[in-house]
Amino acid sequence: MKQDDFDKLRVQLTTAFPGVKSWLGRRDSTRETLATWAQSLRNTSLEHAVLVIEQMIDGKLPPPEPKEYERLALRIASEARKIEWSQRVSPVDDVPAWDERHRVQCRDCRDKGVRYVWPPAAMHAAREAVSEGREFSAYRFTACAVACECFRGDKFVDRAEPHLKPYPRFNANCMVPHSGGPPSEADVRALLDFFGQRKQPALFER
């Protein structure tokens, strides 16, 4: 709180507890004490400090004792913080509790069994562009789907329905992951890095 809020609080405190007021009046160093109190309460809102004083008046909190007057502002700050926290963590009833069953177990396919990679044609074009130092234009290519390495990918490799074509299994040695939408900068970077780092031709094509 700022100085003018502290002055309001001090009036409320000394009005509610005359013992505090006369103790302050008797001191040689009233000004220093008040400056120390203001410093102790600088991160406390007037609203919460007033609640503390009201609770001290109601008896919900112990009233100030003469032996703690010196450190009274610290106690008000600490009680105010507790009130503030208790208001913050009030229970939220309309939000459903976390359900472990909904946890994604495979980050690669987000449990769908399928993930996206750059298509073979893009792999060819990128490999040539890198080896010849040419620009690679990524936007001619759309991603293709492969079966994830996790067990959820199994059903896309061994297709039960005869009319469904089995997917190749993802293989990091010869495939480059793709986000699935229009190629992002990260998708293109991953593809070019793949060929930039390995001088051997990719094994994607059969």
Which residue number, 35 or 172, has a Cβ lying nearer to Zn ion? 172
CA distance 125 to 108: 25
Residue 188 CA: distances (Å) to CA of 25, 89, 124: 75, 44, 14
Cβ atoms of 54 and 98 closer than 8 Å: no
Of 159, 175, 179, 177, the closest CA to residue 167 belongs to: 159
Dist. CA 206–CA 84, nearest whole Å: 65
Q: How far is the CB of 146 from Zn ion (least distance, A)?
A: 11
* Burial zone of 146 (CB within 10 Å; 0-12 exposed, 13-18 middle, 19+ buried): buried
Q: How far is the CB of 152 from Zn ion (least distance, A)?
A: 5
Give whichever of 60 and 159 is closer to Zn ion, judged by the CB atom: 159
The nearer residue to Zn ion, 109 or 202, going by C-beta atoms, is 109
117 phi, psi to nearest 5 deg: -135, 165
Class of residue 150 by CB neighbours under 10 A (exposed 0-12, middle 13-18, buried 19+): middle
Least gap, CB of 123 to Zn ion (angstroms): 21
Q: Would you call 81 exposed, middle or buried from its count of C-beta atoms within 10 A (0-12, 13-18, 19+)?
A: middle
Q: Residue 36 — φ and ψ, nearest 5°?
A: -65, -40
DSSP reduced 3-state for 112: coil
Nearer to Zn ion (CB atom), residue 1 or residue 148? 148
Based on CB atoms, which residue is closest to Zn ion, 109 or 138? 109
- Please say which residue, 21 or 155, places its beta carbon nearer to Zn ion: 155
Write out the residues near Zn ion by the rule CB under 5 A.
Answer: 106, 108-109, 148, 150
